A and B are shown apart, each in its own frame.
Chain A
């Protein structure tokens, strides 16, 4: 594997570990229904509440007696679905609007860019909160809120390279040969931004998980008993002093997953273009 080999060669063991964490996260998300049934993750059994970690419950149980490992694993699935779909929305629309605004430079695309700049000035969390306010709380509106609030930044990010690429010789040549605008844009220009899309996608996943968990913590995301990490922490935080494990189990998992995506995204950037490495 090229990327893993690259990490070993660079002795970047931290990122190698991050790739491993990412793999476990993906496995947990995919295999959740086979590892624990939904009942185990959601059924309230008060006689087992707030148990410390043991063999029967490796991460202990929460205040409603539910096995924390089962909830954390199911939480991975919810987190992955929300993050993947929201990043897909943000990337598809961001790349599309960004490339159109880069390819066609006129008063309309200028106005669109002005609007995007205006939106970027507003904090992401606040934008996402506003979208949730309009759509109501739940898994779907959380996903849309994260996706929509990321679009302006993506538009600006992808417009730059398109502006540069459309002045390159191969684009001019394609135009001279009589290629249509759509074919120039989609088969000549956009393929050149693939690595940017992959890198940005990975980093966006980290940000989507961060913002999503924050909104869920505020109660604007999936509603109980759905085991979302941010919502789990919000529900259990009264017990932080007496039973810290109820906060630490989902909290450390959440932190580790976001960190892993950020580290892998950074390493992918160096891997794709060694020149872009931060100058020292």
Chain B
């Protein structure tokens, strides 16, 4: 037993666990696994309600308001309905892959929460490579979407999956470069250490990084205006066209679990995570996650869907150069010691840099042929 304990203690920073915490590693593991599953499922139901009601409000509709008080039980009713539906598998489908795809897509969305802190040190595993783990794990869910697209043997499913890979490969670069800016300032890859380092929320120190991460994150999880892989008017429902019943419910769950995960990562990296006055840390965290998710709903109802070639052009001609600029400027500021000494100067300079860069590059973007790939 000595070796396994040695190794686990090396991987998981146990200093963050209070000494009066009952039980050892396995109790810690069991407790947080249950908490994470409960948290994700509850939050998914909550955000589905927020999205449907909020979107309806923005579009001058009522939204679901019949089931329970204010329509609060609508997600429950939908869940029960979809569980009772018939499970139809196409005749020509690759049965094993078709069956496995929702599971492979769902596991990473849940695994991301293992390193997200709900309070100071209140997390499943305080990995010292935390954010790298998040980026690595979230790239696995693409494989699940591929399997769905391929296993259905339907051309719309395949097209949806191929659009997805194009989007993920392109948008991962600005996403990671935006994270690097935060890592430079906080000086750690551990999400808990990043929150501890945020005496000033990083959205003020990294406004451009926040915008880039938000846009690239929305594209990664295929939320509108980047929801091309399930563009209803073009390719039916994209990769999950041939899914029904429980398996469709899994994909629906994945979609919102990923949205909650990206909101949680944004809240942790840029909004100070669990930090805040008066309220308990976990409540601050939940509030921030919901605020970020609400911003996603807002952009979804406001912006029109972009075309597939515009999707690529936006990533490579706009987000990518901007993220390089952001990284370069942040690196210079960190070298000059600004994050610790001249915080207010850094906030003002970075907001000015963001405004100028966005304005100038938008003009340049038009000169570069707007959405066209060929110049």
- Whether chains A and B associate is no
| Residues of B that sit less than 8 Å from A by CB | none
